[in-house]
Amino acid sequence: MTRPLAAVVAAAVVLLAATGCRYEGDAGPRAGLLGDSISFSADREIVSAVTGGGWRLVRASAPGRTTAEMTAVAERFVGVSPSVMVIELGANDAVLGHSATRMRSDIRRLLGLLRRSGVACVRWADLPTTGVRLDVAPRFAVDAARWNRVLGEELAAASPSFRRGAAVAGYGGWLTARPGRRGADGLHLADSPAARAAFGRWIHQLTAGCR
């Protein structure tokens, strides 16, 4: 279900805000975003909300990608040093039914890369565990719950090593509280401008909370 790494990187680089990982936005503190199809679907709205809120943003999102695959892409962020990193990854790890051991290893590897890159603050979105209907992953609720548990443990352990901490961002709760913004499969955003704009504002709130 995965593509060669080179193809993954090539797909994600489309959203690295142009050649050389340049930032969107003219001034302000630097933020980064790593994501999968959820943030990919609202890319324009995320850029508008974050840069409109006084931040510069460098980002990479690619549908269908796991945490390990996007860690290879995140290595391209090293030279541009965002101070805040928002991560929206894990759904595909759960879809593939990764073990807790593999989840833990992949999360640690990405957090280690961000720490070495000088990121001061990490906010990582969790997964909804109810109301999700995916034919390709009938056990999604169980696997998502496992992901959320491991993610919470690893962020709590890593938080002291980031100057402004590392914490879970409640995408699952955000989505559950906004049924009108929820897509038909219960995991993705509804295909509407309002849903994408609301998600963009939420991403901005996460970055602003790291100030």
Interval 136-173: pLDDT, tens? 789 999 999 999 999 999 999 999 999 999 999 999 99
How far is the C-alpha of 117 from the C-alpha of 47, rounded, in Å?
22
Token duo for residue 1: 């279900």
Best CA proximity match to 38, nearest among 1, 94, 89: 89
Strands 166-169 and 30-35: unpaired
Interval 72-88: pLDDT, tens? 888 877 677 899 999 99
Q: Model pTM?
A: 0.90
Contact assessment for residue 33 and residue 83, using Cβ atoms and an 8 Å cutoff: no
Contacts of 175 (CB under 8 A, 6+ apart): 128, 181, 182
In this prediction, residues 103-131 reach a mean pLDDT of 96
Contact assessment for residue 166 and residue 158, using Cβ atoms and an 8 Å cutoff: yes
Nearest 10 degrees: Cα torsion 57, 39, 13, 80: 30
Best CA proximity match to 35, nearest among 45, 20, 22: 45
Check residue 21 and give its pLDDT: 63
pLDDT band at 63 (very low <50, low <70, confident <90, very high): very high
Token duo for residue 120: 């001061």
